[in-house]
Amino acid sequence: MLNIVLFGPPGAGKGTQSQLLIDQYHLMHLSTGDILRGEIAQGTELGLKAKSIMDRGDLIPDEVVISMIRSILEKNLNAKGFIFDGFPRTTTQAESLDEMLDELNTSISTMLSLDVDDDELTKRLLERGKSSGRADDANESIIRNRIQEYNNKTAPLKEFYTQQNKLQSIEGVGSIDAINAKLCEAIDQL
Ligand code: ADP
């Protein structure tokens, strides 16, 4: 299996690049943000609980997102591989993911980290907010909170995957196609 953690701060372009990679490598896209927004749209109990947390730009509790991922992995044992987008976001999530994949006799192949500076991220997210309808993109202080959550809780995962010799950093500024080409190059040399 080819299992990729597509990593980076909010607004780094993980969703856009995932869409290209799933077609190019026939992988399944697993975006916890998309799954949670789906729950909100359907008005499920989980969605109702998640909405206020997401609207503030805080992280959803680990056990909630871990059990979401577990149930999807268990239903897709025949997949060629997965792109994890927006997961893991904490060390606890990363440790659980390793355990879950180990139980399925597979593992993370690589972490591809898209690097973009904070000012560029804020600019992109405010721009996206004009059309996305996402409450968490609408206001600069919420965006700053999301970036801060990323810097405090999520960025340390680079060290986690460095220790496993899996981190590959990619400059996330440039055209969509140029960034895609760099990601493909990193995947193809695995
Ligand atoms: P972005 O990368 O632009 O922040 P996402 O769609 O990945 O967008 O995430 C949106 C929100 O969903 C996050 O701010 C957080 O509240 C919640 N969320 C998504 N994935 C996770 C996760 N793995 N752990 C905790 N919260 C998450």
List the residue whose alpha carbon is closest to atom 18 of ligand 1: 33
Domain range for 75 is 2-173
Q: Span 17-23, mean pLDDT?
A: 98
In-domain check, residue 180: no
CB of 54 within 6 A of ligand 1: the answer is yes
Closest ligand 1 atom to Cα of 33:
6
Q: What is the mean pLDDT of the chain?
A: 97
List the residue whose alpha carbon is closest to atom 2 of ligand 1: 10
CA 110 to chain centre: 13
Q: Is the peptide bond before 88 cis (omega within 30 degrees of 0)?
A: yes
- Render pLDDT for 24-72 as a digit per residue (tens, 0 to 9): 999 999 999 999 999 999 999 999 999 999 999 999 999 999 999 999 9
Cα-to-centroid distance, 150 and ligand 1 (Å): 10
- Render pLDDT for 107-148 as a digit per residue (tens, 0 to 9): 999 999 999 999 999 999 999 999 999 999 999 999 999 999
Backbone angles phi, psi at 67, to 5 degrees: -70, -30
Residue type, 63: E
Res 144: pLDDT: 94
Q: Span 73-93, mean pLDDT?
A: 97
- Mutate which of 17, 32, 35, 143 for ligand 1? The one with the most ligand atoms within 8 Å of its CB, which is 32
Res 96: pLDDT: 98
In-domain check, residue 169: yes
151 three-state secondary structure: helix
pTM above 0.85, yes or no: yes
Smallest Cα–Cα separation from 99: which of 108, 89, 110, 86?
Answer: 108
Catalytic residues: 14, 89, 128, 134, 146
Cα-to-centroid distance, 51 and ligand 1 (Å): 11
CB of 172 within 6 A of ligand 1: the answer is no
- Render pLDDT for 158-171 as a digit per residue (tens, 0 to 9): 999 999 999 999 99
Count of domains for the chain: 1
- Is-contact 113 169, C-beta < 8 A? yes
In-domain check, residue 179: no
Pairing of strands 110-115, 167-171: parallel
In-domain check, residue 91: yes
Query: What is the rounded distance in angstroms from the CA atom of residue 19 to the CA atom of residue 41?
Result: 21
